[in-house]
Each structure stands twice: as C-alpha cells, then as structure tokens.
Amino acid sequence: MTKEYSDRWKIIADLPGGGQAHVHKVVEKGDGATVYVLKRLKNQHRLDRFKKEYEALRKLEHPAIVRVIDFDFDIAKPFFVTEFCELGNLAEQEQLLRAPIPTKIQTFLEICRGLQAAHDKGISHRDIKPENVFVRKDGSVALGDFGLCHDQAED
C-alpha cells in the first residue's frame, strides 16, 4: 500500500531517519518526476523543535542550504518537505577522499558559504558533520538537518 501525505505527496522509499523524524523519499502526486525528502515528526512532544527546524530552513534561501518545498503542522503526523540531493550525504562520498585538493577546498568553501548565510540570519546549525551535508547530482553541496539549530531571534 502506498502511503500518502496531504493531497500532494506519495512515499516511494524510506530513508535513514534522525532522532525526531521518519524520513522518506517522496514524489508529488500527479507529477512523479521530481523526488523530494519528506520528514515526518516521530514524537508530538518535539513539535516545537520540529517547527524550529522548518522555520530555520524557510529563512535560509541559499544555494548551499537545502530548499524547503512544503509543510503541514496541522495534521496528526506533521511533516515538511525539502529538496532531495541525489548523491546522498558527504560521509558517503568516498571519491572525494581521492579528489584533487582544489576540489576538496571548493567543497569546504561551499559548506562555509552555507554556514555564513545561516549566521548572517542569526542561525547556528550546531550539528555540522558529513552526514548533514548533502550532495546534489551536479556535485554541489547543501547543508541540511537543522534540528539542533539555535535562532538568535528567539532570545
């Protein structure tokens, strides 16, 4: 049986989840061509933190940060949808270990640009690691998983 969320999303595969969410690859119903990531809240007691992650991503429109596509927090199983980075996360990129130094530096600089964009908006990621840096088909990287972020605007 196919799982669907709202009137827009259809799950096509499960992805490794984090501490607060089940994670799925999804496609838009009626389209089915573009793949996205849907994060569904596991524990209703963490709804505020889940919303905080969504709000941080929504504020951070930058090429080095995953894009938010959709959300719904007013249902029994709240979720939000982001872009899907086809090559997985940085920890899975063994070829990068063998890449020339300029390629490694370029990847590092992209990560730094994403962090700078977040810091410029008062948001600290607080969980930077290879598993939270995602790689697109074109080789560019995007920071994701802002579940532990701190937004200075909330203080």
Active site residue 127: yes
CA-CA distances (angstroms) from residue 106 to 85, 94, 100, 103, 127? 18, 16, 10, 5, 21
CA angle 145, 129, 36 (to 5 degrees): 35
Exactly one of 31, 127, 145, 151 is catalytic; name it. Answer: 127
Residues labelled catalytic: 127
